[in-house]
Structure formats: C-alpha cells, structure tokens
A = this chain, B = another copy of it.
C-alpha cells in the first residue's frame, strides 16, 4: 500500500503499477503534528516529516501546500510571512487552539484505526 502522499518512488522502481494513494487522510494529521512543536514554514514541514519518518514519507509540494491552505481555511492553522533560516521569504504556520484539539483527535483516531487494521492483518 503505497501511499501516496508520500511519494515513494521506489528507488529501484520495478513497480510500474499505479501506486496511487494510500493512507489518504494522514497527511493533515502529520502536518498538524509537525507544527505541534512550534511554528514552521511549509518547506520545513515536509523536511520534518521526511526526517522523523526515517526517509519514508516524502510529502510532495503539490500535496503539501493544498493541505496547508485547507487546514488554514478550517481554522486549524494560522500563518504569517517571515524569513527562513536561509534568509528567504517564507510563510510560517502555527497551530491554533482548534488545531491542537484536532491533532489530539486525529491522533487517537489514527491509533484506533491503525490498530484495527493491524489486527486484521495479523489474523
């Protein structure tokens, strides 16, 4: 199950099959989680997820930015323009109170569902 949001372009890619999306819906949660530690700009959110996932979850920009905008629209994130560590113009996002609540909710929902799936797969 490939997942999608995270492009896993198989390095030695044999799999021509459409490895389109799996675990769809986890992206928002991961983004919220990344911002749970403090404000980050978009690019760094992707870096964060990539690093902590052990280089497994590559968040594509075409998925990342729509996700950020979506979450901001829902009032879970807020943003301001600033300057990145590399001295570039960047938009910094941080969690709102609602975002923090949502993170907690999605987190426990993830535990519930992934646990359920794991049980089936181990049957």
Contacts and interface: CB of A to CB of B under 8 A. Distances in A.
A117 B23 contact: yes
Contacts of A24: 3-5, 21-25
A16 interface: no
Of A1, A107, A114, A117, chain B has the most CB atoms within 10 Å of the CB of A1
Q: Quick one: copies of this chain in the complex?
A: 2
Number of contact residues on A: which range applies? 35 or more
Given A1-B110, A1-B113, A26 B22 contact: yes
Interface stretch (A49-57, A60-68, A83-91): A49-57
B25 A21 contact: yes
Interface string A5-39: 11000101101000001111110111001100000
Contact of A28 (B1, B54, B102, B117): B1
Contacts of A5: 24-25
Interface of A: 1-6, 10, 12-13, 15, 21-26, 28-30, 33-34, 49, 52-54, 56-57, 74-75, 98, 102, 105-107, 109-110, 112-121, 123
